[in-house]
Amino acid sequence: MSRLQCLLDNQRDALDRAAALCTEAIARDGLVHLFGCGHSRMLCEEMTPRQGCFVGWHTIVELGLTYHNAIVGPNGLRQSLHLEKTLGYAEQILRNFAFGPHDVMIVISTSGIREVIVEMAEGARKRALKVIGVVSAQHCEAAKPAHPSGKKLNDVVDVLLDNGAPVGDSILAIEGCKNKTGPFSTVGGAMLMNMLRCEVAQRLMDRGIEPVFLPSHQFAGSRSVEEQLEYFYAQYARSVGPLYSRQG
């Protein structure tokens, strides 16, 4: 059985519970927020904005934790890795938002141990948000906690999704090489997130609520597409507007 098939088979119950939380949030005009550091940011952006996404998902992208393409120098990887370990950083991020009573938070981290990740989940729960975690269950279980509380992400969430990655993430061993390549967390995580989105869309339709989708904007010159885009922008702005009504 393939790793992806095993991932699917082992996630049905957790995906059902995660979809129920996200559906309830969006159906009640709440938001599902997404947060991740490093390459986990990619899974936030996989949910929105991209073709097939719909209003109700909101990414919290902190560039200092994710923008490190240069690796060395300004905005380098050293700084990003240092910030992930900075106690209290998550609280300063959360203070920027006036979360709603029906909102949900998804926190994504393959290791599930970094200080900012644990504190983001804890901070969301203190604000009465239900929290969904996305981790490598194998890696998170094997890793030592980094936060002084001794907690990992799996200790502070309401629902835990497993991206199926092994300890260390990479799955391909090359003969004669002591290290592996082929990191799996992005592949497994993206499949999980898309399954979650599709399930939530179906459940919303089952309730008689048609999601406002972002259409493909590659059809240049199409008046109907332009109108759909403008409608999506307007509805998205309406949905996130209350987030900025108060600074903490």
| CA–CA gap between residue 241 and residue 4 (Å, rounded) | 38
Computed over every residue of the chain, the mean pLDDT equals: 90
pLDDT of amino acid 219: 59
| CA–CA gap between residue 172 and residue 114 (Å, rounded) | 25
**pLDDT tens digits along 2-27:** 666 666 777 788 999 999 999 999 99
**pLDDT tens digits along 23-61:** 999 999 999 999 999 889 999 999 998 888 999 999 998
Q: What percent of the chain has pLDDT over 70?
A: 94
Rg (alpha carbons) of the chain, rounded to whole number: 18
**pLDDT tens digits along 132-180:** 999 999 898 899 999 999 999 999 999 999 998 989 888 899 999 999 9
Interval 102-130 mean pLDDT: 96
Structural tokens at position 56: 């109700």
pLDDT of amino acid 158: 96
What domains appear along the chain, each with residue ranges and CATH number?
3-244 (3.40.50.10490)
Confidence of residue 104 (pLDDT cuts 50, 70, 90): very high
Output the 3-class SS for the chain.
CCHHHHHHHHCHHHHHHHHHHHHHHHHCCCCEEEEECHHHHHHHHHHCCCCCCECCEEECCCHHHCCCCCCCCCCCHHHHHHHHCCCCHHHHHHCCCCCCCCCEEEEECCCCCCHHHHHHHHHHHHCCCEEEEEECHHHHHHCCCCCCCCCCHHHCCCEEEECCCCCCCEEEECCCCCCEEEECHHHHHHHHHHHHHHHHHHHHHHCCCCCCECCCCCCCCCHHHHHHHHHHHHHHHHHHHHHHCCCC
pLDDT of amino acid 6: 66
pLDDT of amino acid 224: 80
Confidence of residue 218 (pLDDT cuts 50, 70, 90): low
pTM, whole model, 2 decimals? 0.91
